[in-house]
Amino acid sequence: MGDNNLNSDIFVYTILVNGASRCRRLDIARDVFSYLSAKGLQPDVRTYNAMINGFCREGLMSEAKDLFLVMEERGCLPNSVTFNVLLQGFLKSQLHDEVEKLLLQMKERGFSHDATA
**Domains, in order of start, for the chain:** 2-108 (1.25.40.10)
- Distance, in Å, from the CA atom of 45 to the CA atom of 12, rounded to the nearest integer, reads 14
Asked if 53 and 21 touch (Cβ cutoff 8 Å), the reply is: yes
Residues with Cβ within 8 Å of 78's Cβ and at least 6 positions away in sequence, in order, are 45, 48, 68, 71, 72
The pLDDT value given to residue 1: 34
Question: Per residue in 73-92, pLDDT tens?
Answer: 999 999 999 999 999 999 99
Check residues 5 and 72 and name the one with the higher pLDDT: 72
Question: Per residue in 46-77, pLDDT tens?
Answer: 999 999 999 999 999 999 999 999 999 999 99
Q: DSSP label at 16?
A: H
Q: pTM for this structure?
A: 0.89
- Is the pLDDT at 14 greater than 60? The verdict is yes
- Distance, in Å, from the CA atom of 2 to the CA atom of 34, rounded to the nearest integer, reads 22
